[in-house]
Amino acid sequence: MDRWLIVGLGNPGPEYAGNRHNAGFMTLDELAARAGGRFKVHRSRAELLETPKAVLIKPLTYMNLSGGPTKLLSDFYKIPVERVIVVHDELDVPYGALRAKLGGGDNGHNGLKSITKVMGSRDYLRVRFGIGRPPGRMDPASFVLKDFATAERKDLPFLVDRSADVVESLMERGLEATQNSFHALDLNISGPPR
């Protein structure tokens, strides 16, 4: 069976753990918990967990260099770009919403920029974890490196759980079915998809 490469974007270290920019790491931690596995540091400069269906990775290179470990591990496991799913925070999706898509631009996201450049393709699947726009005139670069607000944190475990559901749906059901199931759920953060 062909495996998938699931890449969660974030920055390593406890000082970044609760940041909006680490939504990808949070989602992969949930997927690892569901698989009953633990990440191990790999020589590719990523934390890695192999499951029967997928190789889960959290690059430890900081966001701007996420492409290096992604390419190394996609080559090592012979996983083509169309079986790569990248989970990342997204400013242009409101908090409480998740979007699945194939390809597209990087929208100023340095992790995506690095992966697209090193992989030589933008045709990988993305799970866009909505964080919304910063308030007032706050610089987006500062906003993504701040922890989720207190009000957001109460729904965060549910959203991380749902983000993991989106990844699993992409692997099992494909893009269109996943979009149909999850895109209608914007800001309905009171319960699981029906």
* Enzyme catalytic residues: 21
In one letter, which amino acid is 97? A
d(CA 174, CA 19) in angstroms, rounded, equals 29
Q: Which residues contact 4 (CB under 8 A, 6 or more apart)?
A: 53, 54, 55, 79, 83, 84, 85, 171
For 15, the 3-state DSSP assignment is helix
Cβ distance 74 to 66 under 8 Å? Answer: no
Residue 24's H or E segment, with its range, is: helix 23-35
d(CA 80, CA 84) in angstroms, rounded, equals 7
- 130: tokens are 């909505």
Q: Which residues contact 7 (CB under 8 A, 6 or more apart)?
A: 24, 57, 58, 59, 66, 70, 84, 85, 86, 87, 115
